[in-house]
Structure 1
């Protein structure tokens, strides 16, 4: 279980080819013109044309199904193939897409990867790496927009979706604060601390200072568990208690502390702060 350290106030911040089968030699009927009985072999250019057409049809199939049935009907591999657009000589785009998923293990891990991780893979150059990262950022900003100009206490599902995409797939622990105004609307989102796989230092005094600086009336805090398990540790519970008490001294309300996994979320508020 994650060790999330609450630091005291005195601490510093830290093809298949479709060709007709040729008859066996000598199988033409007696009296028949042998040249008519045996079809002419396909020229290299004809074979290449057949191969190219088949490959083009395979590439177009996901796009056609997306148009007719919608994106939800496509598999993960097909969606990635549409994004990539093309593969490598001898490796079609579907093979590259499958390799990507196999390497990262999941869509979430793939979209959370850094540019250098993509460019180290065969078939993924700077342009494709940039495209995949742009897709992730578009999704994050879309979810962030859903939080604007509405009380976040009325949109807990949107908050959790945003936080899962923001930090749910990180390989290290991250602590974030969502600072809210008096109407519980988002003022700003900030990363307060970053740690290792199992340990992170969080400083309540600095969180209070930032809340006062941005004139926040309340806030939601969250941190991720890279292991995926969202059950809070004893130090998570201790931090939550200290943070609530410290914020209360300056009349700032802690609305919730969320523990974020790749798929699940734990809410201290929904569990009675226990």
Structure 2
């Protein structure tokens, strides 16, 4: 058996390289403004002023991002879950074409969709609104969620559904009372990815909000610190650190559900 002692140091080195941008972001956020340009590896001139400024400036934007993320996750599940059940277990005409369309929908660049949304939103008055951003972000999340949930629901035993129908349950009751509970891991995974996509969105937020709009997410709030002649690196990185915390907490809390949900439907009996 070949010796593999070298794999651990290589893995640690690769991990350190990948995590270094996160560490540098934290380091800069804790360094005084006049000392940032020195590029110290540790925040010797420690300060929390950047975080005070970030919380003072960005708290409304964090609330907006939270509303958009939760709304996107809810809308994504409301559309993708019943659609996936229909594609997986019901006799839907053109099911193969619909599945292919879901794959193609994920290939469309977001910037192309943003331009189309802008024209529509400008006509119907949805620019600079939270529902408008939720709807736009859902167009990215729904195809992925539908494919993930369809793969899982296709692997559910047909006997389970037939037993519910023999007890007099309708298709809708079977979906609500049987399919949704056993699809918990896949649903949590789809909802989490939808939330993270909405939380990190910049293209839709920058396109579908008017200049200076009040209902901007935190990604646009970070952009406020980038000027033509000057960049506020301290508050910018502090805001980025704050915005990273909810995503990190959610990923850690839902880790076991994600592992089970992503592999759902990969193996069938």
Q: TM-score, normalised by structure 1?
A: 0.24
Q: TM-score, normalised by structure 2?
A: 0.24
Richer in helix (by share): 2
Higher normalized contact order (CA 8 Å, seq sep 6+, divided by chain length): 2
The structure with the largest alpha-carbon Rg is: 1
